[in-house]
Amino acid sequence: MAPSRRAASAQYINRDGGPGVSFHPYRADVLDELAGHGIVPRPSTPPSRVRDLLNDLYTFELRRLRARLRRGEFPKVTYAARVVAIRARYPLLSLPVEEWLEHRPE
């Protein structure tokens, strides 16, 4: 598919639930938080997929921290506080994905 046709088809968003691309209206604060981690979902990206990516980043950071502990880069007594600090950078993981979306009045 030519680049111009691909871009044009990506702009099509089906808002009425018919065939086509699903529309997920993310809340502005959620988009800001995700952007802080380098994640910029399209309106067509399902929130569950974005959450999985965010969780993967969180898990990667925890594993990297654990590796640093094993190499002796910091004392073990500070490990728990460092885990809490990482967890604090991922507040979206404590919200259900349904809460990531704007709620439109019916």
Task: Note the pLDDT of residue 103.
Answer: 82
Could you write out the DSSP letters of every residue in 18-85?
Answer: SSS-----B-HHHHHHHHTTT----TTS-HHHHHHHHHHHHHHHHHHHHHHHHTTSS-GGGHHHHHHH
Flag whether 70 is in a domain: yes
Flag whether 16 is in a domain: yes
Q: Could you tell me the residue range of the domain that residue 18 belongs to? A: 3-97
How many structural domains does the chain have? Answer: 1
- Tell me which of 4 and 48 has the higher pLDDT: 48
| Whether 26 contacts 100, CB under 8 Å | yes
Flag whether 105 is in a domain: no
- For residue 20 the two structure tokens come to 């086509």
What mean pLDDT, rounded, does the chain reach?
Answer: 85
- The string of pLDDT tens digits covering residues 33-85 is 999 999 999 999 999 999 999 999 999 999 999 999 999 999 999 999 999 99
Flag whether 20 is in a domain: yes
Flag whether 57 is in a domain: yes
Cα separation, 52 vs 46, whole angstroms:
10
Please state the pTM of the whole predicted model: 0.76
